[in-house]
Amino acid sequence: MARSYYVFTNGRIKRKENTVYIENETGDKKAIPIEDIDTIHLYGELDLNTKLVNFICQQGKTVHFYNYYGFYAGSLIPRERNISGDLVVKQVEHYLDPQKRFYIAYSFVEAALFHILRNLREYKDTDEYQHKIKNELSKAAESKSISELMGCEGRAREVYYQAFNVILKEGFSIDKREKRPPTNPVNALISFANSMIYTTVLSEIYHTQLNPTISYLHEPRERRYSLCLDIAEIFKPLIADPIIFKLINNRIIKIEDFEEDVNYCYMNDTGRKKFIKELDQKLSTTIKHRKLKRNVSYKTLIRLECYKIIKHLIGDETYTPFKAWW
């Protein structure tokens, strides 16, 4: 079964027949048959040529690039194969209609806060935080605009991140959420985790007919796939945050896994590998789907969410956001 590959070494990546070869600076090679690849994540400094790029695009594989600090920089996305002009029109129509747009946007917020509350219920002394978040969810349901809705969601997340100080052990804490740049190890871990969910969602959207630039909660803008941000809201607290809690509270991630020379505000390769190992395991974990009556992975849940959005846009089935039932 095709899966994601993560490359941290410096060197070269090239094609030979139907195989992708990753060669590090010392000449060691790793051969990966193209049919085994779903997505490639490149963290190291690697040379690649047009022969490889053409091959990757022909095979419909995505490649994500990350900068020195491990944050998402961009993607190589093959030419769209699942093009649907009719669906693009429907996406735009739902964006331009305030009522239709608000319904989808609120659905994303509702599911995000549902999973946030689900996380908090797993820990003691979080009742006060849960109460405040429930209040913001009630306000979100009564809001009249996207800006009001995002305000409710933003305040709920502020409360949620304050609860991290109750949940996290081993000396890790967070004063407030800061992104550009992260100001402490917890912020660095959250930023890295969120970027990994973003690229995972982008890869899954690519396999559908959705246009990733047309969004509903986040405003569509240049140089970003804003629909990925929308859908990621549902899955960040479901997938990424429990991994953060596990890594810190089980002492898998330690202060040494962050860059000391930049005041521990960025993860090093060792820390990133620890997170990615847990993320890979999580994405491949399966649950019994209540509607499909079969086991599906967490990664598949993301693609199924895309299909549900498509059905809503074309009028086949009203969209109800995914909410974990287990």
Asked if 259 contacts 265 with a C-beta cutoff of 8 angstroms, the reply is: yes
Q: How far is CA 194 from CA 2, 210, 228, 250, 279, in A?
A: 23, 21, 11, 20, 11
**Residue of 202, 197, 175, 200 lying closest to 186 (CA atoms):** 175
Q: What are phi and psi of 114, to 5 degrees?
A: -60, -45
Tell me, rounded to whole angstroms, the distance of Cα 303 from its chain centroid.
12
> Residue 196 is encoded by which pair of tokens?
């990994």
Spatial CB neighbours of 223, under 8 Å, sequence gap ≥ 6: none
> Residue 272 is encoded by which pair of tokens?
């990133």
Tell me, rounded to whole angstroms, the distance of Cα 102 from its chain centroid.
22
- Would you say 233 is a known binding-site residue? yes
- Would you say 218 is a known binding-site residue? yes
What is the DSSP code string of 280-296? HHHHH-EEE-TTT-SEE
Amino acid in position 181: P
Q: Give the number of other Cβ atoms within 10 Å of residue 242's Cβ.
A: 16
Binding-site positions for Mn(2+) read 153, 218, 233
Binding-site positions read 153, 218, 233
